[in-house]
Structure 1
Amino acid sequence: MSSLAPQAPPAPGGPRGLVMARALIPPALRAWIARLDPELAALCCYQLGFDAAGGPRDGGKLLRPALCLLSAAAAGGDPSDAVSACVAVELIHNATLVHDDIMDGDKLRRHRPTAWARFGVPAAILAGDALLALAFETLTEDPHPAAPVTAAELTRTLRVLSSGQERDLRYERLPSITLRQCLSMLEAKSGSLLGFACRAGASYAGAPPEWRGRFSGFGTDLGVAFQLVDDLLGIWGDPRVTGKPAGSDLRARKKSAPVVAALSSGGAAAARLAELYGKRRPLNQRELRVAAKSVEQAGGRDWTLGEIRRRTESALERLEGLDLDHAAHADLRQLAAAAADRAW
């Protein structure tokens, strides 16, 4: 995919928001993880991508903290004021990844065993719970005036996120779902946390309610676009890049957006895909290749690419007309395009 709009040249090391997040957030994350007992702390450090010396090994993308920092700056605040919110959102994000990997039975993430595959399911569940607890502790101990309302908004976000995750699991057992159901689930499961990150950044900048709502919409749309890219990678992504086996979503018969779009299209390719998804045994390599080709022939790939573009453009439009800091707003636009393009 090409960029959606002309962007400023990227800063060395990637978009500026990510550079800022990589400098500010890992030390704060390490400090909070250190409050846990050593065994649990080691598991959480593993999940967060920290090596034994305390530095980031892979560290994850830190996209959500980057969006939070840039939203604070764009709304006229000091990004460093929002570090607690950034830490909270990254802890929540990793907690959901730990639990999601258990629910999906995924054994690989970021080119290595998932937390449950490495440490066992009981320990991984506890680690996810500990990360959730630390996220709220981070906000309750923050003296910033925006911290209480941010903590309240985080509780609501978790409720919405959990609802989306439940629908995702339930939809796997249904013979078919609509594209509207799929997108609504993605808004809850994937969009809500990015929406929270952007809203929290604006809150820490002292932005008025109308601005906070628009930042929330920006993040939600971007979160859906980001998940749609993941859906494409789950079918056609290079394992050397994704850290997961090729065709992992098809192997698990996930009703990802490209699959739902393909199944909804009608025609021979859609019927062939439905037949493969209806098999009770695991699909072999030849069948996985046929399934991926069927998704593409039925229009699932093209529909998803178009929706990524639409959602990203919608996200950018949410912030138009606001009197934002020009440089930070440009950085937000650059990060939004990079998130959709996966150019970093």
Structure 2
Amino acid sequence: MGESLTEFVTETQQPGTEVLRPAGALERRRSAGRQRDGRPGSADGHEAEMLLARTRAAVDPVLRAALETLPVPMRRIALHHFGWQEADGTPAAGGSGKAIRPALVLAAAAALGGPEAREVSVQAAAAVELVHNFTLLHDDVMDRDTTRRHRPTAWAVFGDADAILAGDALQALALRLLAEDPHPAAPAAAARLADCVVELCAGQHADTALERCRPGEVTLDETLAMAEAKTGALLGCACAIGALYAGTGEADVAALDAFGREAGLAFQLIDDVIGIWGDPHRTGKPAGADLAARKKSLPVVAALTSGTPAAAELAELYEAPRGEEDLEHIALTVERAGGRDWAQGQAADRMARAMRHLACAVPDPEAAGGLLALAEFVTRRSS
């Protein structure tokens, strides 16, 4: 199993769509899925989409019930952020996100403890989703992003202070859900989630510090460490909490945490690629927004540290005054300096590492099926 799940190659199917194509057991599961019903198997996203839909059906009622306990002003902001209400309080049918993190909680619990473990971990999955949305509310304020999920961000509608306070409230709701959960794993899950929040904050602090540095002052290692803390930590925590609710041992919990962290870093690498070359009609964000903001994303830092003539040109472009810059030219310079190829190759490597960690905890590919499908889903996307 270890070797059969570790091979991933990166390919681009269309502009702005980055794909990690699986080999080994995951590819065999794709073929088996086609042979059984003639439709795409899990590697094409079919199984992942079913898992995500089932997760939303299980977790959304818990989320809505939690939000209903908030004071009216905080509730309005939170419901708008989740896409369930317009700014004026009327109902909305906007999407509340893909539910990847709560799906990982449920899939990890099922992989190690079966359907029963999955059913009793729904409240913990909702807590993880609340923490994720707490970070989104704060990140949007700090990054000055005006759209998310094709809708105005909370701060753009309600102002900075209200968006920050709503995010704080979501974090409190997450910890309350775990405090009220009678499951014996809830205290350990609460401690793990609290530690994760601290790591998320440290990662965001590092991110903002890096943005204040000049292009030549940023290293690739510190950017990777920042990305793991900002993105990999919560995906790892989600998987680890699922393992805790399955009642497994500490070695398996640690292996699933490592699996989630590596998959999360692959997710961030692909997300950064999409942030530069993605189709705005798919992403819901303006084209080249990361470049216009001079974000030192992973492809950009890889390009800046490549030692190529294009790297020197990119450093000059990044230090030039912002205004009517040619974002397409900047994107091309990042690509010429090797940033895109490096990010795609690094994403494939991180997914291979994730598969090795998963194999240690869940040696049966069928039992690991949900986690495998979700891991591929987060790196086979265009938005």
TM-score normalised by length of structure 2: 0.85
2:255–2:361 CA contact under 8 A, matched in 1: no
Structure 1 stretches of 5 or more lacking a match? none
What's the CA shift for 1:237? 0.8
The answer for the alignment partner of 1:215 in structure 2 is 256
2:278–2:382 CA contact under 8 A, matched in 1: no
RMSD, aligned α-carbons: 1.8
The answer for the alignment partner of 2:76 in structure 1 is 42
Please tell me whether residue 62 in structure 1 is matched to residue 99 in structure 2.
yes
What's the CA shift for 1:45? 1.2
What's the CA shift for 1:338? 1.4
Please tell me whether residue 240 in structure 1 is matched to residue 270 in structure 2.
no
More displaced 10-residue stretch of structure 1: 68-77 or 50-59: 50-59
Matched residue type, 2:324: N
What's the CA shift for 1:220? 0.6
2:108–2:243 CA contact under 8 A, matched in 1: yes
2:120–2:245 CA contact under 8 A, matched in 1: yes
Structure 2 residue aligned with 1:284, among 305, 324, 336?
A: 324
What's the CA shift for 1:189? 0.9
What's the CA shift for 1:54? 6.8
What's the CA shift for 1:130? 0.5
Matched residue type, 1:242: T
**What pairs up with 1:7-26 in 2 under 5 angstroms?**
7-8=29-30, 9-10=41-42, 14-26=48-60
2:48–2:377 CA contact under 8 A, matched in 1: no
The answer for the alignment partner of 1:185 in structure 2 is 226
What's the CA shift for 1:113? 1.1
**CA distance in structure 1 between the partners assigned to 2:275 and 2:150 by the alignment:** 14
Change (3 A) 1:275 1:217: same
TM-score normalised by length of structure 1: 0.95
Please tell me whether residue 293 in structure 1 is matched to residue 332 in structure 2.
yes
Identity of aligned residues (%): 47
The answer for the alignment partner of 1:3 in structure 2 is 21
The answer for the alignment partner of 1:29 in structure 2 is 63
The answer for the alignment partner of 2:310 in structure 1 is 269
What's the CA shift for 1:47? 1.1
2:200–2:233 CA contact under 8 A, matched in 1: yes
The answer for the alignment partner of 1:87 in structure 2 is 126
Aligned to 2:70, the other structure's residue is in SS state coil
Matched residue type, 1:21: T
1:17–1:69 CA contact under 8 A, matched in 2: no
- Count of equivalent residues: 342
User: Residues 66-113 of structure 1: CA distance to partner in whole angstroms, max 9, x if unpaired?
Assistant: 111000000124211111111111101111011011111111111121
Structure 2 stretches of 5 or more lacking a match? 1-18, 31-40
Change (3 A) 1:121 1:55: closer
Please tell me whether residue 131 in structure 1 is matched to residue 149 in structure 2.
no
**CA distance in structure 2 between the partners assigned to 1:324 and 1:75 by the alignment:** 10
What's the CA shift for 1:165? 0.5
**CA distance in structure 2 between the partners assigned to 1:70 and 1:303 by the alignment:** 30
Change (3 A) 1:295 1:56: same
The answer for the alignment partner of 1:335 in structure 2 is 374
Matched residue type, 1:236: W
